[in-house]
Structure 1
Amino acid sequence: MFHPLRVHAIERLTDDSVAVTLAVPPELCDTFRHKPGQHLNVRYTVDGEEIRRSYSICSPATGEPAGPVLRVGIRLVHGGAFSTYALKELSVGDMVEAMPPMGRFVLVPRPGRFAAIVGGSGITPVLSIAATLLEREPDAVFCLIRSDRTAGSTMFLDEVADLKDRYPDRFQLVTALSREEQQAGLPSGRLDRERLGRLLPALLPVAELDGWYLCGPFGLVQAAEGALRDLGVDRTRIHQEIFHVDDAPDSATRPRSEAPAHSRLTATLDGRSGTWPVQEGESLLETVLRSRSDAPYACKGGVCGTCRAFLVSGEVRMDRNFALEPEETDEGYVLACQSHPATPEVELDFDR
């Protein structure tokens, strides 16, 4: 369910990114209290077309009695309707519709040693994770390894510097720039699998850390996961969220197959169930949306996980999946926006 929220502040971070703070009215404080690492799905109508996008919350998670602070980072995407609007037209006092915070790329504060590898705007949820962890848990330490093109394109420079000043013994920062030399730190260049494989053991006891958080473009996240697995890190300690999949190889998607003729979908959403025929070529999410406009979705690209649903019966094939962990797919969860029927009857439950 979407709620109208007023824009409280807009801060320019770089030439192509802003931080937008949304005011939460008292009656919605519980609804919009987020966990560190979660995101907001927002929508806006442009020329009669509804646009939905997902943006991570960068502000630390707050507990009662303090009200929630919803500050999201938005980077301009070439051809992106909402990001273009946010950077060029959005003003303080405007209304933005948003769903309650969601997402499973979270770290609930606890003692331990944690690290993150991020690229570009992938810093956004990790900033919330690190700030919340260090503030709430005195027995936790955090290492942030971040990759950006240039110093001028780096989001949240001041916020990360503040963490270094406030927690000098518990927060470690390593910066790599791919297109610019630094006076100190790592030589310029991309953080690929081979380079990370050499760098990480020099920084940390890699396999002993309690959790690794990877966020950013598909190429960086894939390289970081591969390097960590090479270094003996158990898969259950690796958590990832992908922001961009333009560079995903063809192997990241499954080959298409013909759906059974006359397939039917039964779906439960907000306690109400319905059954509809699946039209040729459409995803199961599209089938539901023809009759239920309140079906949850944002990116429709298999990235955000908003349309996650439990497969009650039948079989489906997913074109691609960049949002669900292997444990979730093993339990029976699918992405409705990427799922097509593989049996004549399929049943989904969006409420589980």
Structure 2
Amino acid sequence: MAAAKSARFHRLRVAAVDRLTDDSVALTFDVPAPLREEYRYLPGQHLAVRRIVDGTEIRRTYSVCSPAPDGATGPDQLRVGVRLVEGGEFSTYAHKEISVGDELEVMTPAGRFTLAPRPGHYAAVVGGSGITPVLSIVSTLLAREPDARFCLIRSDRSAASTMFLEEVADLKDRFPQRFQLVTVLSREEQQAGLPSGRLDEERLTALLPALLPLADIDGWFLCGPFGLVQGAERALGALGVARARIHQEIFHVDDGATAAAPSAPAPAHSTVTATLDGRSGSWPVQDGESLLETVLRNRADAPYACKGGVCGTCRAFLVGGEVRMDRNFALEPEETEAGYVLACQSHPTTDQVELDFDR
């Protein structure tokens, strides 16, 4: 995992806008030399991009898709993939308005869906734009670690909708003995390979043992829509894969995908104490507020991106008190067991709560 560090926004120049498919683009940002250390990232991490529309701040999170640099300095460029979402305020802007030379406010990297290069046999199940962080993971791993292998199982609607098709094909050409690619199209038949259809739990339970020696896989990386990730996790569990070997990142969760946590009695008055960038403060929690909202009213630099319990940017250590988390699609079980919470989803259930964003 990446060491905790303060998330900051800087204005970065757009160096390239590349159309990947009819509904996706890749944005490349130039990183000036004085900021390169701040933008050093682990393969699999993401960036939050911020813009103001009619006085309202909009933040969206996009994974870095390029290989992580291996050197004394950080990256001179960052590349992210953006898929158009119906009604999406930022994705529509990215597709229709952003041009080379524009400057955008970009947060320094965050996220724990990562794999530092090391020997081993790894695998991923991804759907749609879930390829984005995994592309960074696999390209970095294979280039840096000669004793590593990777199997990528990807699901897309059709060949025309497949993001980073050329980049993945290049990996297969460069590392034919160490990179295994399995492609499934849900709405289009292929001339060769697996039959079309969704990669659901039942299909993955039958498919995975036929593709891989499950006991020898050192880590599984699941990324994409909620249904695909949850189905893959259940399939792996049924096949006896240890939960500690499964890592997941969800890109989109429908509002009705899962119920919120049962409500716990809230205290009449509660105070949150938060440490951020080495400075602490205490503030009253207003009725119905999440702890992140309370902190943001007093510390505008509190880290967040999605406010939906998906990206994990607002992760904080619960030093004292108790909270109720409405949703959690970002933290691994070992993180919650260790005492971490998502501030955007946490509500106090005790009079005093203390969070540490620096841990």
Asked if TM exceeds 0.5, the reply is: yes
2:333 to 306, 316, 326: 326
Please show how residues 293-312 of structure 1 align to structure 2 within 5 Å. 293-312=300-319
Find the counterpart in structure 1 of residue 116 from structure 2: 108
Deviation at 1:207, TM superposition (A): 2.4
- 1:80 and 1:4 map into 2 onto residues whose CA distance is 22
1:194 aligns with 2:217: no
Give the TM-score, by structure 2 length: 0.96
* Cα distance per residue 1:28-82 (max 9 Å; x no partner): 1111111110001111111221111110000000122565131000001111111
Matched-pair contact (CA < 8 Å) for 1:218–1:248: no
Which amino acid is 1:81 matched to? E
Task: Map 1:79-94 to 2 at 5 A.
Answer: 79-94=87-102
Alignment partners' CA distance in 2, 1:163 and 1:66 = 25
**Aligned residue identity for 2:292:** L
Q: Deviations over 1:295-321 (max 9, x none)?
A: 110000000001101111000000010
Task: Give the SS at the match of 1:290.
Answer: helix
Aligned-pair CA distance for 1:275: 1.1
Query: Is residue 231 of structure 1 aligned with residue 239 of structure 2?
Result: yes
Deviation, 1:257, is 3.1
Q: Identify the match of residue 209 of structure 1 among 195, 210, 217.
A: 217
User: Does residue 1:143 correspond to 2:137, yes or no?
Assistant: no
Residue correspondence of structure 1 range 39-54 to structure 2 within 5 A: 39-54=46-61
Structure 2: unaligned runs, 5 residues or longer: 1-7
Matched with 2:4 is none
Cα 1:277–1:66 change in 2 (3 A) is closer
Contact 1:218 1:247 survives alignment (8 Å): no
Q: Structure 1 residues 3, 65: closer, same or farther in 2, change over 3 A?
A: same
Question: Which stretches in structure 1 are left out of the alignment for 5+ residues?
Answer: none
Asked if the contact 2:42/2:114 (under 8 Å) is kept, the reply is yes
* SS at structure 2 position matched to 1:250: coil
Normalising by structure 1, we get a TM-score of 0.98
Write the letter of the residue equivalent to 2:117: P
The answer on whether the counterparts of 2:37 and 2:73 sit within 8 Å (CA) in structure 1 is no
1:152 to 157, 160, 165: 160
Larger mean Cα displacement after TM superposition, 16-25 or 241-250: 241-250
Question: Identity over aligned residues, as a percent?
Answer: 75
Is 1:311–1:349's contact at 8 Å kept on the other side of the alignment?
yes
CA distance in 2, matches of 1:2, 1:25: 14
The equivalent of 2:5 in structure 1 is none
Partner of 1:241: 249
- The answer to whether the 8 A contact 2:38-2:74 is kept is no
Q: Pairwise mapping of residues 120-199 of structure 1 onto structure 2 (< 5 A)?
A: 120-199=128-207
CA–CA distance in 1 between the matches of 2:185 and 2:323? Answer: 42
Return the letter of the residue paired with 1:164: K
* 2:50 alignment partner, SS class: strand
Counterpart amino acid of 1:195? R
Q: Which amino acid aligns with 1:86?
A: A
What is residue 297 of structure 2 aligned with on the other side?
290
- Identify if the C-alpha distance between structure 1 residues 289 and 197 changes in structure 2 by more than 3 Å, giving closer, same or farther: same
**Which residue is equivalent to 2:33?**
26
SS at match of 2:298: coil
Match of 1:16 in 2: 23
Structure 2 equivalent of residue 119 of structure 1: 127
Please give the alpha-carbon distance, in whole angstroms, between the structure 2 residues aligned to 1:202 and 1:6. 46
* In 1, Cα distance between equivalents of 2:46 and 2:123: 20
Question: Partners in 1 of 2:121 and 2:80 — Cα distance?
Answer: 26
Q: In structure 2, do the counterparts of structure 1 residues 66 and 31 end up closer, same or farther at CA, with 3 Å as the change threshold?
A: closer
Q: What is the CA distance between 1:156 and its match in structure 2? A: 0.3
RMSD after superposition: 1.1
CA–CA distance in 2 between the matches of 1:306 and 1:328?
14
AA of the residue aligned to 1:297: Y
2:45 aligned partner: 38
